[in-house]
Structure 1
C-alpha cells in the first residue's frame, strides 16, 4: 500500500483548512448582508424601548395616569383608522431602522500630497528648535519622519486647522521666549491672517495648535442679564468661560460667553485699567461700563482728558455727578472723590463700632471714570497745580471698602505717564487694538495663549482679571450717539440705555463741594 509523504499530507490538510475558513467567512459575510436590515431594526427597537423606559422612569407618578390614557387613545384611534395598523407598523419599523443605524464615524483618510508637503515643511522648520546634537535618538532631524512628531492633525480649506506637536523633554517649555519663538514659527508656517490658540502640556511634552473662530463684532450695547456688582467688559471664546448671556438686542437671538468683571466689597480686582492704541475702542469700553453702572443704581464721575466730547451724552443724566474736561474741573472732581471716599470710610467705621448697619448713602456705588488722565499732567504742571492722578491715591487704596470703583483708560504710548498708584492698584486690565506679544505681556503680566493680529476691528483685544487667565475680548459696540459717523442702529441702542435727564443740557450743573472750594480759592 502506497503512502503519501508526511509533508504533502500536512500541506494538503492546511490548504483544506484555509479553504474551509475562507468559505465560512464568505458565508458569514453573506449572512450578515442578508441579516443586516434585521439587525439594524432589532437594534433600533432595543434603543426605542430603552428610551421609553427612561421616559417612563422620569415621568412623575401623578402624571403617569394621564400619559397612559393618552397612549391608549392614540392606539385606539390608529386601530380604527383604515390601514392604521399597517401604517403604524411601517412607521415603527422606519423609526427603528433610523435609530438602529450604524453611527460609527468614518475612518479619516490619510493626508494627500499637498497636505503631506505642508506637514513635512512644518516638521523641517521645527528641527532647529527641538533638536540637539547630543540626542542619540532625535525626534526631530532633517529628513526625518513627521508622523512621529505630529500624532494628530486636521486641515481646513487646505491649511492646518488643528495640530498636535510632540517635542523632546529637554525643550525649555517653561521659558516664555522659547515658547513664543515656536508659536511665531507655527503661525507663519500654518498660515497667516488667522488667530491660533496654543495649549502647552508640559507634563506630556505636547503642544496643541487650533484655529480660533473670529469673535462676533455685531453685538450692540444693551441690558445684559447681570447682577449688581457685575460688569460685562466684552465677549470671548466659549471654551474659556463657563457662563453665557442671552442677547436681547438685534435680529439674531443667541447666547454668548462674556468676560464679567466683579466689583464691590468682596472683589479681588476692584479697579480697572484699559490701554490701547488710538481708535482701538478704549472710550467705547468706558462708555459701556458707565451705562451698566448707571443701570445698577450707581453714581458716576467722568473725567475726560482728550477734550473730544466723547461723554457729552451723559451730561445732566440721573446718576451722573459731573463730566469734567478741563484741568480745574478734573482737580475739583477728583478732590471731591477723595474726600467722599474718606467720609464713607469714617461713617462705615462708626457704624461698625456702634453695631449698626452701614448708612444708606455709603451703599450706593460710586464710579470714577478717567479717560486719558495723562493729558492733564503737563497743563497742571504748567499752571503750578498738582497732577490729578495724585488725588486717586485714596480712592484706589480704600475704594473697595468704601464702595468706590476707579476705571482708568489711556493710550499704550502714554502708559509710562501713569502714576504708581494707578499701576499698583488696577488688577483688572484690558489691552485693545493691535499690540505685540511683548506689549500685551507687559500690561497684563502674562502672555496671551493666542497670536496677536496686526489688523483687528475696534474693540478687539485681551483681558485679564487679577491672576486669572488671559482672555480674548470683543467690546460691545457703544459709540458716541452724538457722533455723526454713528449709524442709526448703534445710536438708538445707546440712547435706549441712557437714563433720563435731571438737568437740562444747556443749564449749569450744580458744582461739587470740592469744585466750589477751588472756585472760591
Structure 2
C-alpha cells in the first residue's frame, strides 16, 4: 500500500527533467544569440586569412618582396594617420562580418493547400503515362506520394506552376517523339493554358524539367543593328539560347538583347530563306526588315504578289531595283534576276581563271524578295503564261556563289503551290503567327521545344537556320510607314532607315529592262 504514490513521484520527476531541458535549451539559444556576432566575425577572419594565404601562395617568389614592402608601407601610413588604427580595425571587423555571414540558402517552405492540390492533380494525371502493371514498386500510382515524383517546384503570383522537375521511371520511352509530346501536352494543359512552356528532357537522369518562358519583347523597333556585312538580324530570342547580344540604339531604354542572326553570302550554309505564316502574322514585316538591312550593303528586287502596296515606301529608293506588283513586271524582274545570276557566275569564273578577284559588281549582294509568289502562279496559269517561280531555279541553285539571296514569304494555305526548287533550297525557315506543333515540325524540320500558343503578337514565331536548333523569334517592328494605323515612333524609325529617293515614285521608270542584252549591259 505504501507504493501507490510512486506514479505521482515519477510523473513529477519527469516534468522537472523536461522543464530543466527546456531551460537549458533556452539558455543555449540565448548564448548563441549573444555569441552570434562574435561567431560571424571569427568566421569572417578565418575566411580572410585563408584568402590571404591562398593569394600569397599564388604570388611568384620574385614578386613577394615588393608585395611585403607595399603592405608595410600601407601599415605605416595607417599608423601615422590620426585615428588610423581605429579606422583600420573597424574596416577589418566590417569586412570580416561581411565575409562571415551565413550563406546557407533558406530552406523553401512547403506548398500551401491549393498548391499541394494542384501538384497532386498533376501527379494523378501522369499516372497512366508513367506506370505499368509489371512494375513491382511503381513511382506513379493512384493515391501515391507526389513528393517523390516532383523534387522541385515553383509557383507564380497567380498560384500556377512556374517551374517543375518531374522524375519518371526508366522504362518510359523518352527517346520517342510521340510519348514525349503526349506528356508535354498534358503538363501544359494542367499547368495553365495561354503560356509558353520549355521542356528539357534529361534522358540520363530520367528527369523532365518544365519552365514557363517570359514573353519576348515587342517594343524593339527597326534600326541599324551592329552587324558585319553578310549578317542579317531576323529577330530576337531568349537569352539562354544564343551567346551573342546586340545593343539597341533606338528608343528611350538602351539595353542588349539576344538576336537570331542569319548569315548570307559565299560562305553561308543557308543562303535562302522561306517565311510562312497566316494573314496578319508579320511575314511582310519580316521582309521589310530584311530589305532595309540588305540595302545597307547591296541591291534589292521586290516582287509582291499580294497587291496591297506593303512595299511602296521602297519604290524609287537607292539600291531598290524595282517593286513589282503585276504579273508582267514579276516575269520581267525574275527573268532578269536569273540572267544576272548567270552573268555573275561567268564573270566570277573568268576572274578566277585569270587569277584576279571577282569584280565589284559581282561581289555586291543582290537580294530577291518575293511576298506571296503563288498569287502570280495562279494568275499566270489563268492567262496561259509561264510561272514566275521557274525563273527562281538559277538564283536558288547558284545564288550563293553569285552573292544572290532569295527570300520568299508565303501563307500556309498556298504552300503546296510553291515550286520544288523553293522548298528544296530555302533551308533557313521562319514560321510566324499561330501554328500547331505538326505545322512547325513540317516546315522547320524539327519540333519546337516550347508549346505554341494561339494568341501571339504580330511578328512572333519560330526560326531555324539549316540543321540548327529551333529558336523563339520576335521580329523587330517594321511596319509600313504609309499605313495610318502605324504609330508615330515606329513610322519615324522606318523612315529614318529608308535610302534617299533617286526616282520619283509616281514617275519611276521600269527598273528591269525586258531585253536580255540591255539587262547584261546594265
Aligned-pair Cα RMSD in Å: 3.2
Contact in 1 for aligned 2:367/2:405 (Cα 8 Å): yes
Matches within 5 A, 1:113-512: 113-157=113-157, 158-295=159-296, 297-512=297-512
| Alpha-carbon offset, residue 133 of structure 1 | 2.1
**Alignment CA distance shift 1:178-1:93 (3 Å):** same
Ranges in structure 1 where 5+ consecutive residues have no aligned partner: 1-20
Q: Aligned partners of 1:169 and 1:371: how far apart in 2?
A: 49
Contact in 1 for aligned 2:164/2:211 (Cα 8 Å): yes
Contact in 1 for aligned 2:44/2:99 (Cα 8 Å): yes
| Alpha-carbon offset, residue 269 of structure 1 | 0.7
Contact in 2 for aligned 1:78/1:88 (Cα 8 Å): no
Q: Aligned partners of 1:301 and 1:430: how far apart in 2?
A: 20
| Alpha-carbon offset, residue 46 of structure 1 | 5.2
| Alpha-carbon offset, residue 98 of structure 1 | 2.4
Q: Aligned partners of 2:156 and 2:510: how far apart in 1?
A: 61
| Alpha-carbon offset, residue 212 of structure 1 | 0.6
**Alignment CA distance shift 1:132-1:304 (3 Å):** same
Contact in 2 for aligned 1:479/1:491 (Cα 8 Å): yes
Ranges in structure 2 where 5+ consecutive residues have no aligned partner: 1-20
Give the TM-score taking structure 1 as reference length.
0.87
Q: Aligned partners of 1:245 and 1:49: how far apart in 2?
A: 42
Contact in 2 for aligned 1:332/1:518 (Cα 8 Å): no
1:298-347 per-position Cα deviation (integer Å, ceiling 9, x unaligned): 11100001111111111111111111111000010000000010111111
Q: Aligned partners of 2:149 and 2:78: how far apart in 1?
A: 64
SS at match of 1:400: coil
Q: Aligned partners of 2:443 and 2:276: how far apart in 1?
A: 8
| Alpha-carbon offset, residue 369 of structure 1 | 0.3
Contact in 2 for aligned 1:432/1:461 (Cα 8 Å): yes
Moved more, 49-58 or 250-259: 49-58
| Alpha-carbon offset, residue 240 of structure 1 | 0.8
Give the TM-score taking structure 2 as reference length.
0.87
1:22-48 per-position Cα deviation (integer Å, ceiling 9, x unaligned): 999999877654443223223434555
| Alpha-carbon offset, residue 54 of structure 1 | 9.1
Match in the other structure for 1:112: 112
1:243-282 per-position Cα deviation (integer Å, ceiling 9, x unaligned): 1111111111111111111111111111000000111100
Q: Aligned partners of 2:406 and 2:53: how far apart in 1?
A: 58
Contact in 1 for aligned 2:306/2:371 (Cα 8 Å): yes
SS at match of 1:135: coil
**Alignment CA distance shift 1:357-1:432 (3 Å):** same
Q: Aligned partners of 1:458 and 1:249: how far apart in 2?
A: 20
1:96-138 per-position Cα deviation (integer Å, ceiling 9, x unaligned): 3223211111111222222221111001101111222232322
Q: Aligned partners of 1:379 and 1:144: how far apart in 2?
A: 64
Contact in 1 for aligned 2:78/2:85 (Cα 8 Å): no
| Alpha-carbon offset, residue 446 of structure 1 | 1.0
Contact in 2 for aligned 1:333/1:515 (Cα 8 Å): no
Moved more, 147-156 or 26-35: 26-35
SS at match of 1:340: helix
Q: Aligned partners of 1:416 and 1:79: how far apart in 2?
A: 87
**Alignment CA distance shift 1:78-1:312 (3 Å):** farther
